[in-house]
Amino acid sequence: MRRPRALCATHPEPDLWFSGSKSQERAALICRRCPLRPACLAHAVERPEVWGVWGGTTEEQRRALVEGTGRRFVEPAERATPVLRRDRDGDLVAVR
């Protein structure tokens, strides 16, 4: 059985997920069709991921979700720039 693929991993403009707000709106729309969206969003809220679009949400939207659970959302400026790489399946993964 073929594993579902992240749409951001095969999109011709992967920077959409990490650039300015207009691009992030486009990325979030693409995420709505992604088969990995539920798991991606759960990961992004649990970690929490503070950069870019994850699971169809922007940083602002995840801040609201995280703070709604009583946890503190660490602002991007307080965190080190994430280092991303692609795994064997071409999916983006944070290595720190």
The residues of the shown chain that bind ligand SF4, judged by CB under 6 A, are 6-8, 17, 30-31, 34, 36-37, 40, 53-56
Q: How far is the CB of 71 from ligand SF4 (least distance, A)?
A: 21
Which CB atom, from 2 or from 70, has the smaller least distance to ligand SF4?
Answer: 2
Q: Smaller CB distance to ligand SF4: residue 54 or 73?
A: 54
- Closest C-alpha among 60, 35, 50, 58 to residue 82: 50
Report, in Å, the least distance between residue 22 CB and ligand SF4: 17
SS3 63: helix
